[in-house]
Amino acid sequence: MTPTPAGRCMAVANPFWAYPIAVTGDGGAASSKVAPLIAAIRAAPHRPIRIITHEDSNGRVFNASFYEDAATMKGFLEWYGANALDPAGEFHYCLSEAAADKVVLPTAASLVFAAGTRILADTRFGEYQLGMAVRYTAWQPLSVENFEEAAVGAARDEFEERLAVCMREHGVAYFGRLVLADEAAGNDGAPGTILTAVRYGSLEDAARGTELSRELFHPELSSWFRPSPPTIVGTALRVLEV
């Protein structure tokens, strides 16, 4: 797999949807419902390059989107909030039936789980396959200093080698990591966020791999980050090239 080009960004959404919404003509009944929104996204001045749809263990759907740069990501999320998530938005009707919770609909503020604006490491390998599981974790550093330490330490070749060897020795199907930083969260003097996307062969592999890696790197993780980082795990369902 070709490493993600420098400058690319990623935003991961929370699992709000009852069915895939990033679909085109082959997406079943949902396709006709979201077709106007997808067409508008493709014509929008700021838009993602690619949207990957996932389903979590509770059957809720979420997306991970890739962008050319931070300005494009910011512009698209603002456009999407105003035109699709806002009840007064032109394309809100495309999503009104898609929310898993009909009472609490996503908003521009609640949609995004985490984002990354600077690539620190990309060790993903092999052909991307639908059905693979991806674990997304938003690591919260203890301080600005810890943010800088983690941004270097978690991206080292030695860190990845230890992880890969551990997964291999325990029979976990592991296909590398994408590690990004989001300094934007630190504009007010607070630490930024380290976002990791770790690829596994299945949800079972993701669960075992998470437990093993947290134990393996406990000294580093406990010195860099707050405990119990927000995490979502999903099986890849489909990919939409925008």
pLDDT in tens, 41-85: 999 999 999 999 999 999 999 999 999 999 999 999 999 999 999
Can you tell me the mean pLDDT for 152-164?
97
CA–CA dist 90, 80 (Å, integer):
10
Can you tell me the mean pLDDT for 97-105?
83
In the chain, where are the structural domains located?
A: 9-114, 118-233
Confidence of residue 222 (pLDDT cuts 50, 70, 90): very high
Yes or no: say if 46 and 222 are a contact pair by the CB < 8 Å rule: no
Quote helix, strand, coil % in the chain, to nearest 5.
35, 30, 40
Are 9-114 and 118-233 in the same CATH fold? yes
Residue 7 predicted with pLDDT over 90: no
9-114: what fold? Alpha-Beta Plaits (3.30.70)
The reported pTM is: 0.92
The DSSP letter of residue 130 is T
Rg (C-alpha) for the chain, rounded Å, is 18
CA–CA dist 117, 209 (Å, integer):
25
Residue 172 tokens read as 């976990």
Range in 28-37, 123-132, 204-213 with the lowest mean pLDDT:
28-37
CA–CA dist 33, 98 (Å, integer):
9
**Per-residue pLDDT tens for 79-97?**
999 999 999 999 999 998 8
Q: By percentage, how much of the chain surpasses pLDDT 70?
A: 93
Residue 2 confidence (pLDDT): 47
Residue 39 confidence (pLDDT): 95
Range in 12-16, 30-34, 37-41, 77-81 with the lowest mean pLDDT:
30-34
CA–CA dist 64, 73 (Å, integer):
12
Q: Which CATH number fits domain 118-233: 3.30.70, 2.60.40, 3.30.1390, 3.40.50?
A: 3.30.70
Confidence of residue 186 (pLDDT cuts 50, 70, 90): very low
Which candidate, 69, 86, 59, 88, places its Cα nearest to that of 11?
69
